[in-house]
Amino acid sequence: MYRKTVLDNGIRVVTESLPYFPTASLGVWWKTGSRDENEENNGISHFIEHMLFKGTRRRSAHDIAREIDAVGGILNAFTGKEYTCLYARVLRQDLDLALDVLADMCKHSAFRDSDIQREKHVVVQEIKMIEDSPEEWIFDLFTADCYRGDPLGLPVLGVEESVQRLTRDQLVEHYRTHHSPSNMIITCVGRIDHDTLVKKVDTLFRGLVAGGDNAPVLKKPQTFPGVYVYEKDLEHVYLCLATDGVSQTDARRYALYVLNAVVGGSMSSHLFQEIREKRGLVYNIFSYVNCYNDAGDFGIATSGSPESMEEVIALIRDEMSTLKKQGITPGELAFSKEHIKGNFFISLEGSEARMDRLAKNEIYFDRYVPVKETLKQIDGIHAPQVDEMSRLVFGDAAGMALAVLGKVDKSTIEKLWKS
């Protein structure tokens, strides 16, 4: 079902053939994102993603959208910290059309000055939209302080000033050097034939040439614990707590996934049940895991009325202290492993999620990770491994970072956190 071919120009073509799927998901991935930026050009990867939709030598922006819409397909893209993706999902008989459109966008995007100026306004509106959504904005604010001085701390969208500074020459040069064939992975999942797809990719992408050695030299980022308060006139107070986790290639990440399920990764988790269900202090509370190439973090996020935040923070601290001292029960371990496996299997029902998984395996491991191998890793987790992760991520409040956004008093929050 899985096959991989590396073309002469360095493009990796990775496929998973699923004869029973009526659709095909096709993605063009680049191993580049906001982590390959600096404060001067912050947001350039995301801006390039936008410009790929603005027209080519033979297709207008309307043509690009209409050709995929005409067959009921989906065409979209996204940018992350360490990768960028342009993808389409279509019925299997429309795969050739999707491949031709994506290849045209990758090879012949015009980067017209008029489109660039217009799109700057669009991206600035997107940035402002995030700033008007405190449940999203707090993560950008928090990451900027927690990873300050490192590209991981830069927002994926950039900031208004850096976006407005971008020039056509910068965009074209960044695209040439960071989106070259040696940095490109094409993934496809569905009712497809690998050899046939490879021949078509080779023909359509043949004109792309390498832009030089663009592999970034990664330096593990330093994190800065502390209390960060962002005062804003809001009805709710938004809270985000995070601490160092593990990288995407660290085998301990599976134990962290189990801990996450216990702490706040589901509706039956400790924090959701204690703070939302039993006490009704917040509408939502959750924990999360971020894993990067060489670093990671584990966090907890929630929001609520200003008068409830003191109790919420105290309850979160109590939960961390209890897990660090007592660990998880055998029942919680078994539950969490089944929860993770269930979510994993459900995700495999969609060609888009499978396409995403193929690409990330290639990005982080340079190989295909069989489903059986993932299940074996999950089943192999034992309570002592999870308890070790509890001690790692909940080790010391002084090593954690707490961000609070809303109508709050900084001295009060700092006093509460240090008590």
Helix (H, G, I), strand (E, B) or coil at 236: coil
Beta partners for residue 77, in sequence order: 86
CA 358/CA 166 separation, integer angstroms: 33
Count of CB atoms situated within 10 Å of the CB of 330: 9
User: 11 and 201 in contact (C-beta within 8 Å)?
Assistant: yes
The DSSP line for 347-359 is: HTTSHHHHHHHHH
Active-site choice (37, 39, 40, 49): 49
CA 365/CA 377 separation, integer angstroms: 15
- Here the tokens at position 271 are 């924090």
Is 127 buried (19+), middle (13-18) or exposed (0-12) by CB count in 10 A?
buried
CA 42/CA 214 separation, integer angstroms: 17
**Whose CA is closest to 253, among 392, 157, 352, 154?**
392
CA distances from 299 to 40, 49, 265, 317, 386 (A): 29, 28, 10, 13, 16
CA 414/CA 376 separation, integer angstroms: 43
CA 129/CA 43 separation, integer angstroms: 15
- Find the farthest-apart pair of alpha carbons in the chain and give their distance in angstroms, rounded: 65
Residue found under tokens 């969609």: 350
Q: Is 231 a catalytic residue?
A: no
Active site residues: 49
